[in-house]
Amino acid sequence: MTTTMHMDQDHPIHLPDPATQPEFYESVPTKRLIAFFIDALLIAFVAFILSAFTLFTALLIFPALYAVVSFLYRWWALAARSATPGMRIMSVEFRQKNGHKFDTGTAFLHTVGYFVSVAVFPAQLISIALMLLSERKQGLTDMILGSVLINTRYE
């Protein structure tokens, strides 16, 4: 049985109910992890290519370059399509609490929240635990913003 979410520009939609539409959240934590690794490889590749324009002297500050590229990559991708390339490959995307895709502001806030969660180890652990245990498979930033990552094959 395929369940669909219908979006009308004039009327907000609601997020899928995990009790009646569990397929939207099925395997999301695993897909999120795989997407993370795909995106990490893509970001490292872009950062390495950018370092070539500095005759590879940027490799001396590669962690900082990687962080800047990562932030811009995530923010741009989430604002443009509500998913990073890794997430699109895994057929998942973010939705705001009203069911709509991310806008630029929400994408920025989510990216900031992601970076804080990655930088603060206890927040990262809490986020991972929430993804595994919460009903909608939300991380800490998702809980704060009310956003969810859903399977797109059921839209």
Domain segments of the chain as ranges: 23-151
Whether the pLDDT of residue 1 is over 50: the answer is: no
Whether the pLDDT of residue 59 is over 80: the answer is: yes
Q: List helix spans (H) across the chain.
A: 28-52, 62-81, 85-89, 104-119, 121-133, 140-145
**Amino acid 12: pLDDT:** 56
Q: How far is CA 30 from the centre of its chain?
A: 13
**Amino acid 8: pLDDT:** 47
The closest of 66, 78, 155 to 118, measured between CA atoms, is: 66
Q: What is the pLDDT of residues 105-117, one digit of tens each?
A: 999 999 999 999 9
List beta partners, residue 94.
149
Q: What is the pLDDT of residues 22-41, one digit of tens each?
A: 999 999 999 999 999 999 99
Residue found by looking up tokens 């804080």 in the block: 116
Is 101:82 a contact under the CB 8 Å cutoff? Answer: yes
Whether the pLDDT of residue 3 is over 60: the answer is: no
**Amino acid 24: pLDDT:** 96
Whole-structure pTM value: 0.89
| For residues 55-78, average pLDDT | 97
- Quick one: 8 exposed, middle or buried, by C-beta within 10 A (0-12, 13-18, 19+)? exposed
